[in-house]
Chain A
Amino acid sequence: MLLHNRREMLRTSALGFGGLALADLLAAAEPAPAPRLVGARDPLSPRAPHFPARAKRVIFLFMHGGPSQVDTFDYKPKLIADDGKPLPFAKPRVVSSATGNLLRSPFAFKQHGQSGAWVSELFPHIAKGVDDLCFIKSMHGSNSRHGGALLELHTGSDTFVRPSMGSWVTYGLGTENRDLPGYVTICPTLTHGGVNNYSSAFLPAMYQATPLGNAGTASSLATVPFVKGTTTAAQQRLELDLLADLDRERTTASDAATEGRIQSFEMAFRMQNAVPAVQDLSKETAETHKLYGIDEKATENFGRQCLMARRFAEAGVRFVQCTHSYKWDQHDNLKKDHTNNAREVDKPIAGLLSDLKHRGLLKDTLVIWGGEFGRTPVAQGKDGRDHNPHAFTMFLAGGGVKAGYSHGATDDYGYFAAEDKVHVHDLHATILHLLGLDHLRLTHRHAGRDFRLTDVHGQVVKDLFA
């Protein structure tokens, strides 16, 4: 019912923003501006979930390319024992490339923390915090190609253009700070679906992610489109005042749409300050920079993304995605490239998790880590692995999930998810549930039917809940 009303409102009314005093707007924004609540008629205003939420916001750390589960978190002693032997069962009906025999991981595994979670030597920093993590070892998806798999992970469909996960979340919950976009994606990929991985598709445009740069932009330079111009602040203020006066001169009482537009110029003016303020990492201590690895060349780029993510989350942004761009696709050079990739993200991710925890943000922030699929335990060439949507590992942290827990399992070699399988649709249902949203009720009518993030699938994995 609530959502139905929201739909009605979106359709029939223009945005009417709560009135805001001009003096307010000129106040310089501090590093992380306090959430600014807005009027009830705004379709992006915060909304009550369907049931009490465990998490209020999401930070999704996306590893584009497909990290190998058997080289990171899914320890398979039998794969080591049977290195070089043929796979003793059939390979999937549809594969992306030809592969050979079993290939053991070139990385050493050790158990860590109280939980005794196995982590390979690729992630020494993340390994220290495994007791905060909730691993899903039995992830699986439907598509063996990057494009399909990326789209399925981000939108629930590997075939058609559908609203992205973050769009659904923002549609369901609104956002807590209207001086900032409700859903941001930092340095998103331009390929394998590009914008469609964060678009709102047929949901209203306000639920689309605001991209900060793209995969080709250094994160230090990534920002919101059109947020910087050539006009000085003083001149711009004169122009905005003139614009508002001329617009109001012609406005009649019934003009919701035109009044909404006048307000949106003020919001844009605030956003021009607020976005760069959140992105300005110079206000953070040297210690924090170090924690995220911003002081080191290898980790600087992703470290900045992670620190920005924390600042956006803190400032009330509902859904933040960081993308470690298309690097994890090791059809060959597995040892060298997985080592480099892991080095770039290990410290920043560990830094983000401990910083969130330290600030008390982890309890209601759901952190998600993973790629679009895993990799085969059988070799492609001598030192590579092919795409594998049949098994991969993701981990969650904070936001009401069990800490120091591992869910599901793959077969002896890590080729197929075997126990307590979690499909991407199930993950989506679970994420929405943690945010207080019922994936069956979060719907939008379009082209003759009610659409959901989970389409006709999805089961909430309650075992993950703390």
Chain B
Amino acid sequence: MLPNIPELVIFLVLAVIAVAAALGMLASSNAIYSALFLVVNFGVVATFYLLLGAPFIAMAQVTVYAGAIMVLFLFVIMLLGAEKMKQTSHNLLWQKPLSIVLIVLLLSISFYVVLGQGVSVGSDLMQNASGYGSPSAIGTLLFQKYLFPFEATSILLLAAMVGAVVLTGVRRQRRRIRKSRRL
């Protein structure tokens, strides 16, 4: 079963852009450009979700990752003025050979999986995708089948938020104490 031609062309073009953006993110020495390449990558991945018939996840990907999280990244990079990276990390030299070994391992495993299973991967995905990506379907799944993991995650996030507030609050109090001592 062959996928239809326009979809294949769109997929190939987007795939090239996605890989190019990912490589650009790794290669650029300016942290702002790295962040922007990552935004492009997220946008392309969102389009992949649309092609797979999952509009909700596509929009959530853009809103949460490309929108909120990457804007915060940019905010921090700009606030700290940390655009330019310094090449002084001598103790990370051992990572280079290790990374090459890991890349070869990852590629060989993924090739084995794709070629071993045959080319049926794409068509399986398309059959699954029909109807399961709609907002109501996801909402039903989240609030019925996966209610406990969903609530547990939300409590975890709340705890993290409270933790962040408490940590900054403690620091502020200490500063206040130090100031009063100085006086």
- Our verdict on whether A and B bind, yes or no, reads no
Q: Which residues of B come within 8 Å of A, CB atoms?
A: none
**A interface list, Cβ under 8 A from B:** none
